[in-house]
Amino acid sequence: MEENETNKKEPGDGIILYYSLPLRKLACTVVSLPLTGLVACFISAVIFQFDDVHDKESCMMFTPNFYLFFLAALHEKLFIAFMLSSLFYMLVMLRVHSLAYPTPTMSPAQSYSFYVKLGLFVTSIAATVGLVVFWFRHRVHCYDMAFSWFAFCEYVIALSNMAYHMTVALDFPSEHLLIGNGFTNAFLTNRHISQHVKRD
């Protein structure tokens, strides 16, 4: 009897944990990559292409250079596709969040995450409307500073998109991505799994 108790193994026995990465840290790292690229592009444009960015001649819809016109049209279509897919993704995630956590049963953390997402979605909608308005003012009417406001709206959309993805840190504040060996179904379904994992 004592021998059987001695040979009995806990669900976490035999596990080798190589690495434990908090999802919060993973989200910060992933979002910092496009954010760094965005800041670098902005700084390089201000330093090296300031006159080109504020060139009022670029407001004309027609240009003798068909190649440049084609590239500009292609960039616009790609950005429009990005905006629409981004807004659709935000809307779907808001709906999924509300279905998974109905308002009466939301915890304070879940409610905070939902309203942060909602605020970023509304911000993206407003920036998209501003983008369209200033695009017409720049391209059709050649208003002063219209392109600067157009670019500002672009940056707001990009930053809102990054921040929206960052809210995964609010949804999974203490979860970890584990890399190891020896995980069994019994271990993965054990309620005391946290005892075997060293958290940061």
pTM: 0.74
pLDDT band at 62 (very low <50, low <70, confident <90, very high): very low
Return mean pLDDT, the chain: 79
Phi, psi of 11 (to 5 degrees): -60, -25
Q: How far apart are CA 198 and CA 200, in angstroms?
A: 7
Q: How far apart are CA 57 and CA 61, in angstroms?
A: 10
> pLDDT value at position 125?
96
158 or 5, which is more confident: 158
Query: Cα separations (Å) of 93 from 99, 101, 118, 153, 168?
Result: 10, 12, 10, 23, 11
> pLDDT value at position 63?
45
Read off the pLDDT of each residue in 77-102 and give the average, rounded to a whole number: 91
Burial zone of 101 (CB within 10 Å; 0-12 exposed, 13-18 middle, 19+ buried): middle
> pLDDT value at position 144?
80
Read off the pLDDT of each residue in 160-189 and give the average, rounded to a whole number: 83
49 or 33, which is more confident: 33
- Distance from the Cα of residue 65 to its chain's centroid: 36
Phi, psi of 27 (to 5 degrees): -65, -45
pLDDT at 120 over 90: yes
> pLDDT value at position 186?
64
pLDDT at 6 over 50: no
